Structure 1
């Protein structure tokens, strides 16, 4: 006489293992599904802040930041037209190296809103984001549209 109950227990156990494996795979797939990427707008918003952080950051404790360098040029020459022209050239080449299409970089405090570097047309900008940093008496604003 064959033991039919033992065969049914083995088949039942194999089906239970397959069922658990399927449940495990479904849960694993649900956990590892990519989430929606909502960073398109926030990436643009942070662009001005990111560029200003690069301009105001130091490489190490001995180097001077870009904003410190241009502030010293302006201060040493007492904000002369020649120093403003030099700072404008330096600023334009630095900002163009970041591949910015539509920007305006100005000093607001000492030079009373003088535009140091610009590129593009703000009338066509949908969104303009702004970042500001101060170095000594000089207050710089970067607007990117």
Structure 2
């Protein structure tokens, strides 16, 4: 009889431990459960850093990046008004592919903060994402809001 009661207590202890583990896991999953109440201010646009990575990225080792292309145009034509207009047109076309609604792209070093492309009212901007990249002597800044 003592053997049977010993086996019963072991089985009962194992079941109690399993039940305790189930309760702990259930409690843990309730704590870690994310709230599905998402903010209505979710942005569907890329951040400035992501866009600058694309602009500065090369397709392969022989191709020049977009920043390299516009820097070459500006340098070749010695930052003339015509070169700035040409670069502004290229920038407008490039930023249309990103489908951005509010942005400002400028050169801060040799052109003294000249805005090359923009869309939206910067004075009313909130939560601005900013990224900068240097290419040669040129320093470009992109602000997205």
TM-score of the two chains, using structure 2 as the length reference:
0.77
The alignment's C-alpha RMSD in Å is: 2.9
Which consecutive residues of structure 2, in runs of 5 or more, have no partner in the other structure? none
More deviation, 86-95/103-112: 86-95
Tell me the residue number matched to 1:96. 96
Cα shift at 1:34:
5.0
1:17 counterpart residue number: 14
Question: 1:53, CA displacement in angstroms?
Answer: 1.9
Deviation string 1:84-143 (CA, Å, 9 cap, x unpaired) is 222112212222322322110011122222111001112332222322111111111111
Consecutive unaligned residues of structure 1, counting only runs of 5 or more, are none
Q: Which residue of 1 aligns with 2:81?
A: 81
Q: Report Cα offsets for 1:23-80 as digits up to 9, x if no partner.
A: 33345453793578xxx9xx99x92222212211222221211100110111122223
Q: What is the aligned residue count? A: 137
User: What is the aligned partner in structure 2 of residue 68 from structure 1?
Assistant: 68
Matching of residue 122 in structure 1 with residue 122 in structure 2: yes
Moved over 4 A (4+): 26-29
TM-score after normalising by structure 1:
0.77
1:59 aligns with 2:56: no
SS for the counterpart of 1:101 is: coil
Q: Find the aligned partners of 1:24 and 1:69 in 2 and give their Cα distance.
A: 62
